[in-house]
Structure 1
Amino acid sequence: MSTNDDWTTERMGDMSDKTVIVTGANSGLGFEAARAFATHGANVALACRSVERGVAAGERIRDDAPATRLTVVELDLADLDSIRAFATSFADTHDDLHVLCNNAGVMAIPRSETADGFETQFGVNHLGHFALTGLLLDQLRGTDGETRVVTQSSGLHENGEIDFDDLQSAHSYDEWGAYGQSKLANLLFAYELQRRLRGAGIESVESVACHPGYADTNLQQRGPEQSGSTLGLWGMKAANAVLAQDAATGALPMLYAATAPEIDGGEYIGPGGFQNMRGHPEKQRSSGRSYDETTAKRLWDVSEELTGVRYGLDSN
């Protein structure tokens, strides 16, 4: 474990020659990360399901960074057609891609399905980002210098298990269990991507994982809202008010993972304060399950089959 007690966005440096994608950039952690990238000069693509909310977020960012280069591009991670359209549009309008932040997600919502029939938490949090990264990999590889894929997980991945017999929770659904599975899948993917990149002799692309600790965002409220639980909604709001750090601080691990020169592929970054729920970013260890290479390889193969996106990176 390596601490960085004083790391803040002030240490990000000039990013005026960098192009960054942030998924879910219209609110919460994604918005704060996009604003930090923009204020440091980066060309930022706000990848948002709602273009209207993305445009509004871009206007707020321009208040802090009037000269910033921002684009808002529609991306619905619950729809493989939308993911393919986004990747095509981005490649047509951008020559380079230095950082891909796989940030967007849903948490503990009632069971529903994506446009392609995936359970929504697994489909959006894992399969959507798996497909997006695969479709953008050539652009990451073709960009001069080091590029990074940063995948946002959660401390709750520790409660997750990959149920290959019921990946889509069709037979039994627990909203928190499904969330934990999706967040564990994020880590298995991030680490397996790093192994496959190196196995293919690709040294220029780094795959890094992170988690925000407990940050005050709208994410926690969507489950109670969708299930109609007024008590649950007020409970989440109260917990956020008492326990959570603000979204800008919660975004620091993702920003550190994306920009710090001392970061290596395959690392896991999270806040180093109380129970890893708050504080400045540091290098950490995730759960034992997240480093299971047999599970990671199987999940990779299943993910390629389900999404139809093939990386062309063989496992060793």
Structure 2
Amino acid sequence: MYKNYFKITVFSSALVLMTLPAMAGLGNIWTDFQAYSNDLRNYVVNNLSDTLKPYEVQTQTAINNSSGAIGIPNPNTAGKIVQDQITQYSLSEKFETNSAVNGAIVKNKIGRHITLGAVESTLGRNGQSQTRNKLQNAEKAVNDIISIANTAETNKRQKQIEIQAVANANPLNNLSGFAADANPISSLIAPMLNQSKLTQLTWEGLADLELQNINQRREQSKLIAATLGTTVHIHQDLQYTNLNLTNISQQIDETNRARRVDTSAEVARLLQVTSQTDLLGRR
């Protein structure tokens, strides 16, 4: 009964640990997030030149200035810092001469770059190794809880047998130092000793059961802490997803705006040509 119950209840909690990118030990959620944030930052910093050239210096500064209490850069703040610098100093690229549009594009690149860092910290070599170890620790915690429950069940049955044996025994036969048929004092003391033995066995059983419960709750608390860490991490990943969706929407708007500007410029050019043609025709 205990075995099946804990397998169903506890293992369902362990399953959600699969996405947690951490490793020190089960339940060490702050250490877990430190490992995660370090991997994320290392990826972001080491790959700036490949993604954000020639703005890697500005991006590095923005990432450092936008990092919060858990060491993870804020994509919105970092992107906004670089975007403002590009717009303010009218920085442009070969294929994008409009600094405002160029700033928006670079801001979106920064958001995507940080998102890729989050993915790398989870699915990269280090992230997968950490996840494997985390799952192994979770499985060990589940097995420990099952073992504790089985031990408690065995100890309970053993104490029941001992208590029943004392209760069924002849009090006079359990009294050492007194003849069974002689001293009347023995008939008074024996029941008291018998009751004392029963009380002792009962308290030993209760103490052992309480110890097993404490050990069991300790292991369960590790699973609960790890589950909390997973929940926070999933919530953070959802924010990166929302950021990317926002970037896509914004990029579409910027593209449409640029297309409208180009169309307006083309219409103006055609009007100018038409006007010049009319003037030449009248002459």
With the length of structure 2 as denominator, give the TM-score of the two structures: 0.22
Task: Please identify which structure carries the higher strand content.
Answer: 1
More helix by percentage: 2
Which of structures 1 and 2 has the bigger CA Rg? 2
Structure possessing the higher relative contact order (Cα contacts under 8 Å, 6 or more residues apart): 2
TM-score w.r.t. length of structure 1: 0.20
